[in-house]
Structure 1
Amino acid sequence: MLKGLGGLGDMAGMMKKAQKMQKDMADLQEKLDEMTVVGESGAGLVKATATAKGKLTALDIDPSIFHPDEKEVVEDLILAAIKDAQAKAAAKSEEEMKALTEGLGLPADFKMPF
């Protein structure tokens, strides 16, 4: 009946794969919430820690940069550290997603709908 469809004829197998993918995605989302990355600026004077989903969790500022006349410099360093952490979070998330999709036999450039 469905012989001409090759592997698509096995609906039970497809359903199992879909369920596994759904579980793997839920596990990955939880894992990304627990993974952290650290973004830096000013040669490490300002460090921003974020989850792999990009949620900022900590900010560490070396006290040596606190000079009243350099307020704008400090603000720029803080923003740069946060942006670096967010960029690293996005890269880590993409790396983990790529590993998951490759493990499922999907193309490396496959984009999940979320």
Structure 2
Amino acid sequence: MFKGMGGLGDMTKMMKAAQEMQAKMEDLNRQMESATVQGESGAGLVKARATAKGELTGLEIDPSIFVPSEKEVAEDLILAAIKDAQKKAAEKYQSEMQRLTGEMGLPPDFKLPF
């Protein structure tokens, strides 16, 4: 009546592949939490550090930008450095996701997690 386990064997392979994918995703997320990027503005007068997941972790400001009459310039430089760090974090995360999907034989534009 039952001729082998045909479909069941395929299902077992799919489940194993899904578990491997989940483990790789968890590993990638851990790596992205500890990987850092640095954004800059004002030729390095303001530097912002963030995890590759976009969490701001540090801000370094050259004291020369603290001139009372240039308050708006200092604010703009700080915001620009933060935005640069966040942009670099997003690019790094996307790059790592594409690498991971490529390793799994998935199309480069495949979106993980589902």
User: How high is the TM-score relative to the length of structure 1?
Assistant: 0.91
Matched residue, 1:17: 17
Q: Which has the higher mean CA deviation after the structures are superposed, 8-17 or 61-70?
A: 8-17
The RMSD of aligned alpha carbons is 1.8
Q: CA shift at 1:46, angstroms?
A: 0.2
1:85 matches 2:70 = no
1:19-68, Cα deviation, whole Å (9 max, x unpaired):
00000000111110000000000000000000000000000001111111
Counting matched residue pairs gives 111
Query: Runs of 5+ in structure 2 lacking a partner?
Result: none
Structure of higher CA gyration radius: 2
Q: State how 1:51-90 maps to structure 2 within 5 Å.
A: 51-90=51-90
Query: Runs of 5+ in structure 1 lacking a partner?
Result: none
Q: Which amino acid aligns with 1:92?
A: K
Query: Deviation above 4 Å: which 4+ runs of structure 1?
Result: none
Q: Which amino acid aligns with 1:64?
A: S
Counterpart secondary structure, 2:108:
coil
Q: CA shift at 1:94, angstroms?
A: 0.2
User: How high is the TM-score relative to the length of structure 2?
Assistant: 0.91
Q: CA shift at 1:11, angstroms?
A: 1.5
Q: CA shift at 1:107, angstroms?
A: 0.3
Matched residue, 1:105: 105
Matched residue, 1:38: 38
Percent identical pairs in the alignment equals 66
